[in-house]
Amino acid sequence: MHVPDGFINAPVSAAAGVVAAGAVAVSLRGARRELDERTAPLAGLVAAFIFAVQMLNFPVAAGTSGHLLGGALAAILVGPYTGVLCVSVVLLMQGVLFADGGLTALGVNITDMAITTTVVAYLVFRGLVKVLPRGRRSVTVASFVAALLSVPAAAVVFTLIYAIGGTTDVSIGKVATAMVGVHVLIGIGEAVITALTVGAVVAVRPDLVYGARGLHRPLKLRVAGELVDAPDTAPAPVAARGSHRKVWITGLVTSLVLAGFVSFYASANPDGLEKVAQDKGIDSKTEKHASDGSPLAGYGVKDVGDARLSGGLAGVIGVGVTVVAGSGIFWVLRRRRTADTSPSQITETV
């Protein structure tokens, strides 16, 4: 999905560049809040991890294999701001070093693959974690859904950008169908592996996963072989949980209802989906690279199977869009209420 130069016209590329620059600037500030002075080394190592994990091939069937895109995984493991930064840096280096993705299309690529995937994944993840009962299983389920939706959401954003600034007049319905269709399939793989990976991390270092924090035991002193409680030096701030829970449940239910409505509307206008489906599978296979075993190994082509689409796919587009919009609105509302008026959320969600 790395967009090359010339695919999107110049004004829209520039506009996407501005959006991307703004979001990266916001993320730089936000990441400093998430990680303070640890931002550079930690985000750098997580970026290296995302880079490496994109090379970890997951066999699908008979010779084809897929790999993780990593946006959702980054957002869930290290938080949305750091996630945006890591994936953006990976895209930047891919563009400059490997010519993967055009330099003028960097803004489009970052908006699409770094910002959309991480933000959507994080909003969905947080929403589900708030609603579901606390526990490891909920974290895994939330990761699955978040990753599942993040990939088609990126396809939707790509389609939108294409609708505004595409350099050919392929009908938007066709592009949307092909992009979203293919990416739903990718999304399923992404979801399974993201969920399993997050599950594996939660099992070993729950403190590293954003959604599974806050388990403390009081300190003890060993005095003459006996364990006694140490005086509490820093009382943990008590977070008001209950009040937000209602907001989140309402938000999720509303967006589900909306999603149903939109998908009903969308599937009522199939726009010749079936016909296009066959000749538009953006089909490609994994390539063996000359430099096997190096960081460039397998740095070839995203794997995508054949796109078998049906009218129901339009529904998935609706679900993606609506969940994003709905969660976004509720996030803004929640931020307002907590009186933490940072410009970030406004620029991102409006």
Partner 1 sequence: MGAGHAHKLYRHGHSPVHGLPPHTKLAAVFCFVIVVVSTPREAMWAFALYAVLLAAVAYAARVPAGFLLKRLLIEIPFVAFAVLMPFVAQGERVDVLGMSLSVNGLWGAWNVLAKGTLGVAASVLLASTTELRELLLGLQRLRLPPLLVQIASFMIRYGDVITDEMRRMKIARESRGFEASGVKHWGVLAKSAGALFIRSYERGERVHLAMVSRGYAGSMPVIDDVSASRAQWSYALTLPCAALVVCLLGWLL
Partner 2 sequence: MTVSPTPLSPASLEVGGLAYAYPDGHQALFGVDLTIGRGERVALLGPNGAGKTTLVLHLNGILTGGAGTVTVAGLPVGKRHMAEIRRKVGIVFQDPDDQLFMPTVREDVAFGPAAAGVKGPELEARVHKALAQVGMADFADRPPHHLSFGQRRRVAVATVLVMEPEILVLDEPSSNLDPASRRELADILRSLDVTVLMVTHDLPYALELCPRSVILSEGVIAADGTTGDLLADEDLMRAHRLELPFGFDPKSVKV
Task: Report what 295 binds from partner 2, partner 1, none; CB cut-off 5-8 Å by kind.
Answer: partner 1
Point out which span in 3-11, 82-90, 94-102, 202-210 binds partner 2 (CB under 8 A).
Answer: 202-210
Is 222 among the residues that bind partner 2 (CB under 8 A)?
Answer: yes
Nearest-approach distance from CB 132 to partner 1, in angstroms:
21
Rounded distance between C-alpha atoms, residue 279 and residue 82, angstroms: 39
Rounded to the nearest 5 degrees, what angle is found at the Cα of 19, between the Cα atoms of 18 and 20?
90
Strands in 42-183 per DSSP E = 58-61, 64-66
Point out which span in 180-188, 225-233, 239-247, 323-331 binds partner 2 (CB under 8 A).
Answer: 225-233
Is 220 among the residues that bind partner 2 (CB under 8 A)?
Answer: yes
Q: Check residue 269 and report its DSSP letter.
A: -
Point out which span in 78-86, 187-195, 223-231, 321-329 binds partner 2 (CB under 8 A).
Answer: 223-231
CB 149 within 8 A of CB 119: no
Q: In this complex, which beta carbon is closest to partner 1, that of residue 130 or of residue 183? A: 183
The maximal CA–CA distance of the chain, rounded, in angstroms, is: 81
Rounded distance between C-alpha atoms, residue 53 and residue 326, angstroms: 31
Classify 267 as helix, strand or coil: helix
Task: Report what 229 binds from partner 1, partner 2, none; CB cut-off 5-8 Å by kind.
Answer: none
Q: Check residue 64 and report its DSSP letter.
A: E
Point out which span in 51-59, 235-243, 252-260, 307-315 binds partner 1 (CB under 8 A).
Answer: 51-59
List the one residue from 18, 33, 137, 200 that touches partner 1 (CB under 8 A): 200
List the one residue from 163, 230, 333, 346 that touches partner 2 (CB under 8 A): 230
Q: In this complex, which beta carbon is closest to partner 1, that of residue 82 or of residue 327? A: 82
Q: In this complex, which beta carbon is closest to partner 1, that of residue 37 or of residue 229? A: 37
Q: How far is CA 126 from CA 52, 53, 321, in A?
A: 26, 23, 17
Q: Which two tokens stand for residue 123?
A: 């909003």
Under rule CB under 8 A, which residues in 99-138 are in contact with partner 1? 99-100, 102-105
Phi/psi of residue 133, nearest 5 degrees: -65, 150
Task: Report what 283 binds from partner 2, partner 1, none; CB cut-off 5-8 Å by kind.
Answer: partner 1
List the one residue from 18, 33, 40, 230 that touches partner 1 (CB under 8 A): 40
Point out which span in 156-164, 213-221, 231-239, 275-283 binds partner 1 (CB under 8 A).
Answer: 275-283
Rounded distance between C-alpha atoms, residue 315 and residue 313, angstroms: 5
Under rule CB under 8 A, which residues in 276-305 are in contact with partner 1? 276, 279-280, 282-284, 287, 291, 293-296, 301-302
Q: Check residue 211 and report its DSSP letter.
A: G
Residues 6+ apart with CB under 8 A from 298: 55, 57, 67, 286, 287, 288, 289, 292
Rounded distance between C-alpha atoms, residue 204 and residue 241, angstroms: 26
Point out which span in 27-35, 112-120, 128-136, 223-231 binds partner 1 (CB under 8 A).
Answer: 27-35
Torsion of CA 275, 163, 182, 54, to 10 degrees: 160
Task: Report what 86 binds from partner 1, partner 2, none; CB cut-off 5-8 Å by kind.
Answer: partner 1
Q: Which residues bind partner 2 (CB under 8 A)?
A: 41, 205-207, 215-217, 219-223, 227, 230-231, 233-234
